[in-house]
Structure 1
């Protein structure tokens, strides 16, 4: 798996965890948990930006976020 694919997968996993924290059985998730996931996504996006550039990393991250969260 390429480094880009690995970073994309990490973003997908963080977005999925965030989606679950904001709905379903974790409806009472704290802001700290959700904030941590946003921070993690930002860190992964920065790693991705070092490979593909800021704009491409932002586009990839937003696309994944929209797919996961809606």
Structure 2
């Protein structure tokens, strides 16, 4: 079982990874590639975000989606 500090560190790591996947997918929308390759790239990033969310949910429970939403909201505010 993880200690409180380890849990906070793991939550922070997962949220950072989620943010990076989201930002990468956003960049994929404006990249010069097109069609199937763009779709596959973005779909891969979204799938990774889903896996990370699942890991986060195992640590913090149902509040994971609120943490993810807050993280993504701040991504849009930083642009």
Q: Judge same fold: TM > 0.5, yes or no.
A: yes
Q: TM-score range by the shorter chain?
A: 0.7 to 0.9
Q: How many residues align?
A: 67
TM-score, normalised to structure 2, is 0.73
Does residue 43 of structure 2 align to residue 38 of structure 1? no
**TM-score when normalising by structure 1:** 0.81
Q: Does 1:28 align with 2:33?
A: yes
Q: Which has the higher contact order (CA 8 A, sep 6+)?
A: 1
In structure 1, the gaps of 5 or more residues are none
Structure 2's unaligned 5+ residue stretches are: 1-7
Q: 2:61 aligns with which of 53, 62, 68?
A: 53
Larger CA Rg, structure 1 vs 2: 2
